[in-house]
Structure 1
Amino acid sequence: MLLTLTTTHRPATDLGYLLVKHPDRMHEFDLPAGTAHVFYPEATDQRCTAALLVEVDPQRLGVGRGRRGRQTTTTESFTLGQYVNDRGYAASSLLSSALSTAFRSALRGSSKDRPELAGTAIPLTVRVPVLRCRGGAALAVGMFAPLGWTVTATPLPLDERHPEWGDSRYVDLMITGTVRLADALNHLYVLLPVLDDAKHYWVAPDEIDKLLRAGAGWLADHPERALITRRYLAHHRALAGEALSRLAQLRLSDVPAPDDSIDEDSTPAEGSESHADPRRASLAVRRREAVLTALAASGATRVVDLGCGGGALLTALLADRRYTEVVGVDVATQALTVAARRLRLDRLPQRQQDRVRLWQSALTYRDDRLRGFDAAVLMEVVEHLDPARLPALEDAVLGHARPGTVVVTTPNAEYNVRYEGLSAGGFRHPDHRFEWTRAEFAEWVDRIATAFGYTATISGVGDDDPEVGCPTQLAVLTAVDKAAAAATPSTAVNAKEAGR
């Protein structure tokens, strides 16, 4: 795979100082999956081009060393796929890794020999002749154009001899602009694997820090930041949620604007309110506060957060001493890893550690460990399931686990018209399978309450719009046997009173 950087800054050979690579020499770097070469096809005072060529070793790519010696494999899990693929020819996360190795100082924006030039925008042309682009040329333009680049993304034909077969999934990308070299390299470092949408290594929580570091100064304001974040973090919902939340906080700290911070289960649209006061809490925070209020009113002391994501609600529950047992459940182990980090489980005093547990479990299957809790929370969870899977969740949670109280929140689809940039009929999160109107949510709550022996109340969270209601819907279901027990003294208590 190949990438070229060209400048016409005078003298153009100063590019060698910025990249810390002499134009008269061939430079070679060992990579986990092959070898990177840096050389200069042309180097004059008028024009200078640096080329990064990456040669991939299929054997080294097939099985590489992970952290602490753990074996990791490429995304092509079957044996032949580890050797027969496009990784050695089309730009991907492998090229990004090579960028960070070969141009480490330039990525940081530091130059011992030309410090002033490192901070100066210079004319640059970057070309990646073969880039796998999931989303086509239009997506490539949408990624680079908002950053000030003039973009030419030419689709490559599937076969030049058979034009009737149409275009392949690859593009010839050329971007031109006047930018700092460090900014250009960081744009490429993030966006090349985003366009490819298939990382060659396991994505761990520390990838969030890498993304925010490379995206400093531009990612928080990029119109496609949600898509960039999700793809860069390999579609791990919990990691993307945490990264977007931190990006939202950066935006708020830079520019006074309506709060659009979010939590693990929301997007910028879902975390904001169109008429919000910047001094007010975000919708994500108000949603958690509403859930905590409902739990406190229920009198619960043992609570399970079903679909806990990165653990935002768990943190609040653990901070409240009334809750003697707090359990977070998620189907994604990566989400539980993020939750553990957020809770700082390894640093908590033993007494606090004894109060909290994290379990992996699928909510559409019965799990005996979930039985007997005072309350369960489904906060922004149900809309992530296919409608056909909802009956399985209902049976597993309300029928089998049967907590005394169930708190459910979900978006109000009617409120979506108040979000700028959300297309008609669109969902607030790309992973949502549906979003209910108030009538649809009320019908579902009434059905499951009747079927499983619960009473229910429904309310809203966030600003109450007179036309479309609140942005979030909240239901509190109380088991009929629990309600009856609370209203009627127990036999044991009556007997004790009679003996007095």
Structure 2
Amino acid sequence: MLLTVTYRGLEPGDLGFLLHKHPDRVHEFELPVGRAHVFYPELDEERCTAAVMLEVDPIELVRSKRFRGDAGTLGHYVNDRPYASGSMLAVALGAVFRTAMTGRCDARPELAASPLELEVGLHAVPLRGGDDLPARLFGPLGLSVDQSASLLDGEFPEWGPSPYATIVLRGTALLGEVLRQLYVLLPVLDDAKHYWVADAEVDKLLRAGEGWLAQHPERDLISKRYLVHQREYVAAATARLGELDQGSEPADAATDSEGDSGREEANRPLNRLRADAVLAALDDVGARTVADVGCGPGALLSRLAVDPRFTRIVGTDVSPAALETAARRLDLAERSDAQRERIQLHPSSVTYQDDRIAGLDAIVLMEVVEHVEPERLDALSRSVFGLAAPAAVVLTTPNAEYNALYPTLAAGAFRHPDHRFEWTRAELAAWAGAVADRYGYRVEFRPVGEPDAVLGPPTQLALFRKEAAA
């Protein structure tokens, strides 16, 4: 089994610091599944590649009581475990890159906390669930997927294609998060875990899935396959993921004070409520030309696109992979020339001037501001409010006070590992008021999601309207 991770940056060799493995050495690890080797086949001024090679001992697997199999049957001895990149490779990743998966790097903390241009190569990956399964799993994470397969045996084409593929993932993402995603999704691609699943596996899934699994469109499939379809564990994971989902309220915060309509809203995903609130704000200001800045994989853009009231729609993001996912989601390749003129995607940063979004009716910053370093907020306000100067700005961000109602969120922790901060209602009001005064806007605040009587709503929305346009 072989997995490679390639990093392109100003100092490519920093990958060694991030992985806590020196590029000039070959690192060996004895694991329950065999022996893992970590080495660097490539390091130059442009890129650095780290490789993990796992040698599985099939005899030891047969002898071990930890790993699953039907003792005494031929399948217990003849199988694809020694070479297929599935759960065994995931075990190795968790062992050799344990610290890197947490996102910790004392030597290069700024890199560990920043999205990096990465390329991951996976070889002999079993695909049990259709050729589109890798795209369904990795696409929503902002990673592009290239995969190739060959015939099972070139001399016997009638045997058909091989059930194994080579997959290359590319995107701009946090290294630790990508490693955690691989840890979970390798067994999911295989739909098999070759060791006993117990209560601890639910906790492992929740830890590795923090920040991305709760909102993944294939969350149920991932949970079922990772937990080997064990109903009790799948039910437990589903309940806990529901609490973590920014689209779900904690069970102890639910209220029926507003009757059936209140319960219906409390049960709707918060990401849907958030998008509904943004669309309502755009309707209130009469926006027809809109930019979704930091659009990610295009969730809001897809809702804007189906509404003919919006005559010009622009999506921008710093991640080319996210824009590729958005383009596929919007089916831009199949749209008419007029539709492609109406809906445009551009790579861009919210902290830099971009004339392509200047002078629009509205700019949306939906769950974007908290991903920006605090010292860059002045640059954000200048580029959006000062230079682009739309008639309106719709901004949403988490309410930090509400975090206390998420029982699985540690005190002081953020809802997403890439958040640089999370504001209380007073902190948002102070920042938004200062920006509005500086650039000639007035601002109002709206709750998103069922508010707690003391801690407020899970998400807060600020609607800025330019004074001249009021």
Shorter-normalised TM range: 0.5 to 0.7
Deviations 1:338-360 (A, max 9, x none): 11122122233444333211100
Matches within 5 A, 1:9-408: 61-62=41-42, 76-78=43-45, 87=51, 92=52, 94-95=53-54, 114=74, 131-135=95-99, 203-204=169-170, 212-214=188-190, 222-225=202-205, 228-229=208-209, 240=212, 244-247=216-219, 255=235, 268-275=244-251, 280-408=267-395
Q: Distance in 2 between matches of 1:258 and 1:242?
A: 10
Q: Distance in 2 between matches of 1:455 and 1:78?
A: 49
Deviations 1:218-243 (A, max 9, x none): 89x8334465358xxxxxx9xx5797
- Which residue of the partner structure matches residue 457 of structure 1? 444
**Partners of 2:366 and 2:395 within 8 A in 1:** yes
Deviations 1:104-161 (A, max 9, x none): xxx9x99xx8569999xxxxx999699523329x98xxxxxxxxxxxxxxxxxxxxxx
Q: Which has the higher contact order (CA 8 A, sep 6+)?
A: 2
The structural deviation recorded for 1:319 is 1.0
Q: Distance in 2 between matches of 1:129 and 1:302?
A: 46
Deviations 1:381-419 (A, max 9, x none): 001111100000000000000111100000001000000
Q: Distance in 1 between matches of 2:441 and 2:93?
A: 61
Q: 1:281 to 1:52 in 2, by over 3 A?
A: same
Matched to 1:95, the amino acid is L
The structural deviation recorded for 1:334 is 1.1
Structure 1 position 430 matched with structure 2 position 396: no
Rg larger in structure? 1
Matches within 5 A, 1:479-498: 479-483=466-470
**Partners of 2:36 and 2:55 within 8 A in 1:** no
Q: 1:456 to 1:216 in 2, by over 3 A?
A: farther
Q: 1:52 to 1:415 in 2, by over 3 A?
A: closer
Q: Distance in 1 between matches of 2:36 and 2:402?
A: 49
Q: Distance in 1 between matches of 2:364 and 2:465?
A: 12
**Partners of 1:269 and 1:419 within 8 A in 2:** no
| Structure 1 gap ranges (5+) | 3-48, 63-75, 100-106, 120-124, 140-181, 183-189, 191-199, 231-236, 262-266, 484-500
Q: Distance in 2 between matches of 1:98 and 1:296?
A: 62
- Which residue of the partner structure matches residue 82 of structure 2? none
Matched to 2:99, the amino acid is G
- Which residue of the partner structure matches residue 435 of structure 2? 448
**Partners of 1:461 and 1:473 within 8 A in 2:** yes
**Partners of 1:304 and 1:326 within 8 A in 2:** yes
Matched to 2:270, the amino acid is L
**Partners of 1:364 and 1:396 within 8 A in 2:** yes
Deviations 1:46-70 (A, max 9, x none): xxx9986788997xx43xxxxxxxx
**Partners of 2:392 and 2:466 within 8 A in 1:** yes
Q: Distance in 2 between matches of 1:223 and 1:382?
A: 30
Q: Distance in 2 between matches of 1:282 and 1:404?
A: 29
**Partners of 1:259 and 1:282 within 8 A in 2:** no
SS at match of 1:433: coil
TM-score (norm 2): 0.58
Q: Distance in 2 between matches of 1:342 and 1:461?
A: 25
Q: 1:283 to 1:96 in 2, by over 3 A?
A: farther
TM-score (norm 1): 0.55
**Partners of 2:432 and 2:462 within 8 A in 1:** yes
Q: 1:327 to 1:97 in 2, by over 3 A?
A: farther
Identity of aligned residues (%): 36
Over the residues paired in the alignment, what is the CA RMSD in angstroms?
4.8
Q: Distance in 1 between matches of 2:36 and 2:98?
A: 21
**Partners of 2:409 and 2:415 within 8 A in 1:** yes
**Partners of 2:206 and 2:241 within 8 A in 1:** no
Q: Distance in 2 between matches of 1:223 and 1:115?
A: 30
Question: May I ask how many residue pairs the two structures share in their alignment?
Answer: 328
The structural deviation recorded for 1:259 is 9.4
Q: Distance in 1 between matches of 2:244 and 2:354?
A: 33
Matched to 2:433, the amino acid is D
